[in-house]
Amino acid sequence: MRKILGGAGLFTFCFLAGYGLLKSNTDEYQINRDPAAVRNSFDFSHLSGEKLQEAVKQRLLTGLEIKKNSQGAGIALGHFVYVDERGTKKLACQEFQKVFLNFEAEGVSVGGDKPQMEVEGRCDFSEDMSRINALYVPVARILGERPGDGEFQFNEGPKVTVRFTNLPEDWPRTWLLKSVKLVNESASEALVVEGPEVAQTLGHPVVFIW
């Protein structure tokens, strides 16, 4: 099933060969701003190694915010700044073009497997650079469709792709966030927070209710 709608655990910190190998996309993101404009609360340019990993994990999740409107809901993440091996300040969304949010349905299983939902969108930062803009899921429109494994693409506003697997006959309404992934497509690099680390970092699970 492929549907195009509208006008449309451990904390695995994988800079693989090192975050200094990630490619810059300054033409696309235009972030050459005065470093003084970056808030100290998410500027990790003074950190490296495990301390940087822990700070990034905390920032992504503690900056998480669920935003609702009449048609659906979106999830925003905390944004951050770090310094690469060349000593250059980089924004997360300068290095990682895509955001993936993976969810598991609560209280439902099909043949022993939990229904899964993956939300994919572009990594864009807010005007004040403190958050990765929310990926909105048009819940009302999805609920109007027949449940089935496959993919929905929503092209009104920022493009969002939503994929489902192991769906039951009725749409699950309660989803738990299982992992967050930022991906640099050109360099095949990823930054991942997954498994129990999501709930452990926040002290509670992230519940996305339709």
Q: What pLDDT does residue 21 have?
A: 30
Instruction: Confirm whether 111 is domain-assigned.
Output: yes
In a domain, 31, yes or no: no
Which domain, by its residues, includes 199? 2-26+39-209
Q: What is the pLDDT of residue 195?
A: 80
Confirm whether 121 is domain-assigned. Answer: yes
CB atoms under 10 Å from CB of 1, counted, come to 13
What pLDDT score does 39 carry? 62
Please tell me the distance from the alpha carbon of residue 12 to that of residue 201, in angstroms, as a whole number: 14
pLDDT, position 150: 96
What CA–CA distance (Å, rounded) separates 99 from 134? 10
Which pLDDT belongs to residue 38?
55
pLDDT tens across the length of the chain (210 residues): 444 444 333 334 343 333 333 333 333 333 444 444 556 778 998 888 889 888 998 999 999 999 998 889 999 999 999 887 678 888 999 889 999 999 999 999 999 999 999 999 999 999 888 999 999 999 999 999 999 999 999 988 889 999 999 999 999 999 999 999 999 988 878 889 988 899 888 999 999 998
pLDDT on residue 101: 97
d(CA 101, CA 208) in angstroms, rounded, equals 11
pLDDT at 80: 93
Number of domains in the chain: 1
Residue 33 located in a structural domain: no
Task: Give me the helices (H) in 4-112, please.
Answer: 26-29, 49-62, 92-95
Q: Is 34 part of a structural domain of the chain? A: no
Provide the residue count of the chain. 210
Name the pTM for this structure. 0.81
So what's the pLDDT on residue 89? 85
Say if 118 falls within a structural domain. yes
Residue 81, beta-bridge partner list: 43, 91
